[in-house]
Amino acid sequence: MAPARIASTRLGPHSTGPHTPGASPLTLRKPRPQSAPDWCTFAGYMEKNNFIDYIRIFAKSGHGGAGSKHFMRTKYNAQAGPDGGDGGRGGHIILRGNAQLWTLLHLRYYKNVLAENGESGSGNNCSGRFGKDTIIEVPLGTVARDEETDQVEAEILEDGQEVIWLKGGRGGLGNAHFATPTNQVPEHAQPGEEGVEGWKTLELKVLADVGLVGFPNAGKSTLLSSISAAKPKIADYAFTTLIPHLGMVEYRGGKSFCMADLPGIIEGAAEGKGLGHRFLRHIERNPVLLFVIPADSNSVSSEFDILQSELEKYNPELLHKHFVIGISKSDMLDEELEAEIEKELPEGIPHVFFSSVTNKGLSALKDELWLALNTPIEGGPSDAEVHGDFVDGQHEDDQSGATDDEALDTADETGAA
């Protein structure tokens, strides 16, 4: 017997309700909140708080339909044998990646995500219809966890990727399956299996190549706006950036990489000071971390140590990524002051003096970031071996006479390959 057709319910930014294949979907519009006295005020509030990177929902997949206990009766044979059909499978809850999404805002008002139960079987060996699957569209980088065990159950990294998050229960077998030569009149059929239910969490980790780490007012947002088309909020007070911002940075040869600007970190963030560690999850996938330290800092080395310590308290694995130090606001420095600051910087970590206002050193900063992106982390040379000391635009340990520009061209070819 041909399997029953499966319909689905999709939860996305333009969600559609349950519908059968071929039917025109109806757009579900969020009702006007009763507690909001002014809709314009509410809409303005949503525009300012439209970045949601953590959602808690109750998810429940569909129960399987029960098998049928039925006996065939014909005109000439009242005892033609068992013909109970199987129950239908319960609906799955499926996660689907959507590259057009960048937040979990569309799931904010769907606290209960339920899939349809499978229908029971019937006589004449008719199987029940499968329950409709519920498809949840999520941005790339979403991690699904069980709230009770905190175990990762699914992860979406590609556009169009589908993962069955919660499987629907299997349908029960009808009594036709239990007929034997010694039991020609089976009086029982299987009930359907129950679906899976529980409180789940969806956590968004932004996918970017380079993550900006630094204290508030270090110049991270200004840097991102200078080398990309992103327009983060920039002001002369602390914690201007409250949510992550992404920007595509153009590089030579038509290449580009993605940079993420995160809210500032202060000492004691592990204890909840400032904005805490809430947004550090977004740099867990970044292969390169750019530490932005302003030139007017009291101590560049101590500020770097504090940032490194806060990262270690959050996740020690973050210390195994490529580090690049960027000294911002360097237009205030002369060569003598730059030499004094260089003495404080840790050895083995590349550094660049740059100014987002005068564009000083931005090309060199892009070169360092591109080199770091094309240097393997495991099994490859360390940052000290790759970057080394420069003498007149050439590596000291380069015996072939290749200049730094030639080394960058080699890195470009490697990235293109």
Contact 234, 311 (CB under 8 A): no
Over the stretch 25-83, which tens digit does the pLDDT of each residue have? 333 344 444 333 332 333 333 334 567 778 899 999 999 999 999 888 888 887 788 88
* Look-up of token digits 């006589």: 123
179, with CB counted inside 10 A (0-12, 13-18, 19+), is middle
Tokens of 145: 């966890």
Rounded to 10°, the helix 220-227/362-373 angle is 90
**Residue 343 backbone dihedrals phi, psi, to 5 degrees:** -70, -25
Q: How far lies 12's CA from each of 28, 95, 197, in Å? A: 10, 11, 21
Number of Cβ atoms within 10 Å of the Cβ of 164: 13
DSSP 8-state secondary structure symbol assigned to residue 203: E
Contacts of 65 (CB under 8 A, 6+ apart): 86, 87, 88, 89, 90, 117, 118, 119, 120, 121, 128, 129, 131, 171, 172, 192
Contacts of 9 (CB under 8 A, 6+ apart): 16, 17, 18, 19, 115, 116, 132, 133, 134, 135
Q: Which of 168, 152, 126, 155 is nearest to 8 (CA)?
A: 168
pLDDT in tens, the chain (417 residues): 444 444 566 666 655 444 444 433 333 344 444 333 332 333 333 334 567 778 899 999 999 999 999 888 888 887 788 889 999 999 999 999 998 887 888 888 888 999 999 999 998 889 999 999 999 999 888 999 998 898 999 999 899 999 999 999 999 999 888 988 888 888 889 999 999 999 999 988 877 888 888 888 888 888 888 888 877 777 665 666 667 778 888 888 888 888 888 877 777 666 666 555 667 777 787 889 999 988 888 888 888 888 888 888 888 888 888 899 998 888 888 888 888 888 888 888 899 999 888 888 898 999 989 998 888 765 443 433 333 333 333 333 333 344 444 444 544 444 444
Query: CA geometry: angle at 295 spanning 340 and 252, to 5°?
Result: 100
Contact 362, 354 (CB under 8 A): yes
Over the stretch 109-160, which tens digit does the pLDDT of each residue have? 888 999 999 999 998 889 999 999 999 999 888 999 998 898 999 999 899 9
Q: What is the pLDDT of residue 268?
A: 66
Tokens of 280: 């550090």
Q: Which of 308, 288, 293 is nearest to 368 (CA)?
A: 288
The answer, as to whether pTM is greater than 0.95, is: no
- Can you tell me the distance from the alpha carbon of 194 to that of 100, in angstroms, rounded to the nearest whole number? 34
Q: Are strands 8-11 and 133-138 parallel, antiparallel or unpaired?
A: parallel
What domains, with CATH codes, occur in the chain?
Answer: 8-18+39-204 (2.70.210.12), 210-416 (3.40.50.300)
Q: Which of 205, 27, 31, 59 is nearest to 135 (CA)?
A: 59
